[in-house]
């Protein structure tokens, strides 16, 4: 089995990288890169982990992921058999160390500050999408102009954070691969009962050492993280399977009793499963 790098390299000589992903599913390994990533989901849906939080993404979403934030896309091929994403990669110093610090660029602070935690744009998608759809036929100078236009539009609109905590130190490759193995196990086996001993073995650590390690890097326990994965998957089932009972959904998502499921669902979503389905 090929061991993939945790830190994904990008071309060194290019200040701005434009990338199109046309896949059945997006790259689904936990990874990080120095570049800030602004992505337009043209097709597809699924789950997205950024930093300490699990989110969902759907067609027409505009996502910003800050530099060196560990993240992973988990495409839902049942909901969308094709995944297409247009992305711009760049660093704050891509166009010179002081480019974004000159007085003309003062407003970009309102982009870079929230980008550190990642964000999902919640309004004015169409304006940004129109710019993304022109990138394919633009030269490099035109793409830089388009990037500035997109940043300006993001500054002027509303967004929701993608994470609430980002570990202050960049992950080493070994740390990243360890966290990737733990995240993958949780995302692929959330419907089963997962023990602390099980995940500690995957991380090649003692149970106590793993608990401290995971909490330090995500600001939450492993089981808090696991519950969030289960609730996000429950949301998908509630939305897609209108006739499936809530009890069945709770069982399919790894909850052993409906009372605990209802309580955790309301804690995370602010509403009951039945209210969520009705909305």
Residues 126 and 188 both lie in one domain: no
pLDDT higher than threshold 50 for residue 1: no
Q: What is the pTM of this model?
A: 0.89
| Residues 153 and 223 both lie in one domain | no
pLDDT reported for residue 2:
39
Residue 64 maps to which CATH number? 2.60.120.280
Question: Could you tell me if 27 and 145 lie in one domain?
Answer: yes
Domain enclosing residue 38, as ranges:
17-161
SS3 74: strand
d(C-alpha 222, C-alpha 200), whole Å: 10
CATH code (residue 235): 1.10.10.60
Write the pLDDT tens digit of every residue in 141-192: 999 999 999 999 999 999 999 998 888 888 888 888 999 999 999 999 999 9
Tell me, yes or no, whether 109 and 23 share the same domain.
Answer: yes
Number of CB atoms found within 10 A of residue 276's CB: 18
Contact criterion met (CB below 8 Å) for 179 and 171: yes
Do 196 and 115 lie in one domain? The reply is no
User: Is residue 262 within 8 Å of residue 238, measured between CB atoms?
Assistant: no
Structural domains of the chain, count: 2
Query: Do 95 and 134 have their domain in common?
Result: yes
248 shares its domain with 228 = yes
Domain check: are 64 and 88 in the same one? yes
pLDDT value of position 9: 65
**Residues 116 and 251 both lie in one domain:** no
End-to-end CA distance of the chain: 44
Same domain, 179 and 244: yes
């Amino acid at each position: 089995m090929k061991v993939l790098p945790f830190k994904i390299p990008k071309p060194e000589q290019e200040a701005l990288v434009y990338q199109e992903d046309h896949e059945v599913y997006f790259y689904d390994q936990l990874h990080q890169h120095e570049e800030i990533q602004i992505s337009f989901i043209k097709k597809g849906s699924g789950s997205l982990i950024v930093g300490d939080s699990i989110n969902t993404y759907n067609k027409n979403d505009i996502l910003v992921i800050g530099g060196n934030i560990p993240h992973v896309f988990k495409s839902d091929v049942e909901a969308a058999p094709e995944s297409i994403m247009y992305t711009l990669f760049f660093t704050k110093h891509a166009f010179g160390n002081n480019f974004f610090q000159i007085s003309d660029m003062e407003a970009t602070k309102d982009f870079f500050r929230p980008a550190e935690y990642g964000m999902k744009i919640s309004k004015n998608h169409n304006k940004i999408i129109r710019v993304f759809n022109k990138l394919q036929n633009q030269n490099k100078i035109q793409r830089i102009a388009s990037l500035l236009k997109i940043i300006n539009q993001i500054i002027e609109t509303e967004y929701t954070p993608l994470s609430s905590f980002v570990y202050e130190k960049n992950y080493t490759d070994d740390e990243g691969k360890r966290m990737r193995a733990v995240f993958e196990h949780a995302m692929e086996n959330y419907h089963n009962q997962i023990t602390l001993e099980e995940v500690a073995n995957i991380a090649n650590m003692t149970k106590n050492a793993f608990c401290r390690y995971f909490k330090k890097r995500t600001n939450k326990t492993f089981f808090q993280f696991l519950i969030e994965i289960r609730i996000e998957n429950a949301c998908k089932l509630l939305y897609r399977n209108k006739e499936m009972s809530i009890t069945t959904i709770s069982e399919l998502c790894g909850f052993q009793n409906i009372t605990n499921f209802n309580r955790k669902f309301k804690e995370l979503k602010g509403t009951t499963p039945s209210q969520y389905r009705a909305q």
